[in-house]
Amino acid sequence: SAVISQKPSRDICQRGTSLTIQCQVDSQVTMMFWYRQQPGQSLTLIATANQGSEATYESGFVIDKFPISRPNLTFSTLTVSNMSPEDSSIYLCSVDRQGARGYTFGSGTRLTVV
């Protein structure tokens, strides 16, 4: 299955600032997914990133707050903009390898906003 390098692994940020999270996959994939996991909660899909088109956002998530880039088939970034303490979460990227049964996840970015 795919190997995903996600960074940073953790960060502490001041409110009002932005943080960009990167995910690099070791092979080309069609779809990349970005999730948020708030403390003690399950994973919630933020958006699906396809190369060459705008990301598709889930209800409750908007592009101005979570802009996503997908410049090629192996890389994507998620930016958390104008952060507030409520954005403190683990953010994970994931890929669906065509033909593979398990979605692979990055190691996660543990974000704390102070």
Phi-psi region of 82 (alpha: psi -120 to 50; beta: other; left: phi over 0): left
Among 7, 65, 97, 110, binds other proteins (CB under 8 A): 110
CB of 79 to other proteins, least distance (A): 20
Q: In this chain, which of 13, 45, 57, 75 binds other proteins, going by CB under 8 A?
A: 45
For residue 101, state whether it binds other proteins (rule: CB under 8 A): yes
Q: How many CB atoms lie within 10 A of CB 80?
A: 25
One of 33, 36, 46, 78 touching other proteins (CB under 8 A): 33
- Binders of other proteins among residues 4 to 23 (CB under 8 A) are none
73 binds other proteins (CB under 8 A): no
User: How remote is the C-alpha of 42 from its chain's centroid?
Assistant: 15
